[in-house]
Amino acid sequence: MYLDIPKSTKKMPAKAKKPKIDSSFVINDFLLNDEDKFLLTRLEEHYNLKFPSEIIEFWRFCVKQCSANPLDALKSLGVRLCGPFNFLNGQSLSNPHLHCRFYYDVPEFQTLFVSTNEDSKHLHYGYYRDDPNDIPGIIVSNNSEKSCEYSYVCDSLCSLPFRTIDFQLDKKSNNFIRRKQRVNAKTFNKIGIVVPVDPKTEVGYRPINFSEKELKKLLDKISQIDNIADRQKAFAPIHEEITYIQFANDESDFGMGLELGINLFLHGSPHLHKAARHVWLQAYTLLNRQVFSTIAQQHIQKRSNSLDEILGNLA
């Protein structure tokens, strides 16, 4: 499988050769020495998230490839390392959770690479974890200039390509299939949500009272109304749904609020932020995913499509 990176529009000089990437990065085991274990611990403490040991191995590989600037180790593939790799590179992040957080990035998404191609500046790739305590199981991509939809890329950093940039989607990977089997509901980003459900009582999730098409149509209508009073009237079905979510929360079906909250956020309209904040943050708290609640709160407050702001937050 190969990384989905658009080809650059710039032509190489006739006799120029593309920089070669050593294709020897294969992780056969994840045994780290004491120094690397310490580095992994510092990374997890800095983000308050779990990371696979492969990220340290991958970083060592990139340092070997381009010791002068490891963040550019995959430059020939049209991407630059960022996020956790900025931290591993010794850079201070004023807010690690907002650094490289694009417009449609839910808290479960953590950017690792950004496109350097001029025609796809908002294309980025990252880990996806359903719970802050989970080791990320898949890597996904999103181009926030085009839509809120995510595309599955591969299971891990050791699955990334180093010989070609022609991407072939493999939906038969073990992690992808295992996660797909646990998805409770679809969402606008095509990834869906995963919450724990008791197999005997089925407590943990109940569906919202809208189909995906119905919800999108309603949110489109709300977002297009300029008059505040008229917009509040159009909000009535959402307010009613939020009441149902409170009932669901009382019965420990926390996934219902998560489903609606994520979709309100992914729609993208600032008019939906207040409602999204209410049900979304509450769902994360009830699910003991407090870090995600914090990320969502901070992101909504400073949500932007400006690349300067997205790629900033370097102290």
Q: Dihedrals φ, ψ of 123, to 5°?
A: -80, 130
Q: From residue 58, how far is each of 32, 63, 156 by CA, in Å?
A: 12, 9, 10
Beta strands in 8-137 (DSSP E): 79-81, 109-115, 123-128
Q: Choose, from 44, 118, 251, 309, the residue flagged as catalytic.
A: 251
Q: Could you tell me where the DSSP H helices lie in the chain?
A: 34-47, 54-65, 84-88, 174-182, 212-223, 228-234, 236-250, 255-267, 273-286, 290-301, 307-310
> Are 281 and 301 spatial neighbours (Cβ–Cβ below 8 Å)?
no
Beta partners for residue 114, in sequence order: 80, 124
Distance of CA 78 to the CA centre of its chain: 20
User: Residue 266: how many CB atoms within 10 A of its CB?
Assistant: 24
251 catalytic residue (yes or no): yes
Give the type of residue at 302.
K
Q: Rg of the chain's alpha carbons, rounded to an integer?
A: 21
Question: Alpha-carbon distance 132 to 179, whole Å?
Answer: 15
Taking alpha carbons only, the member of 145, 144, 157 closest to residue 73 is: 157
Give the residue numbers annotated as catalytic, written as ranges: 251
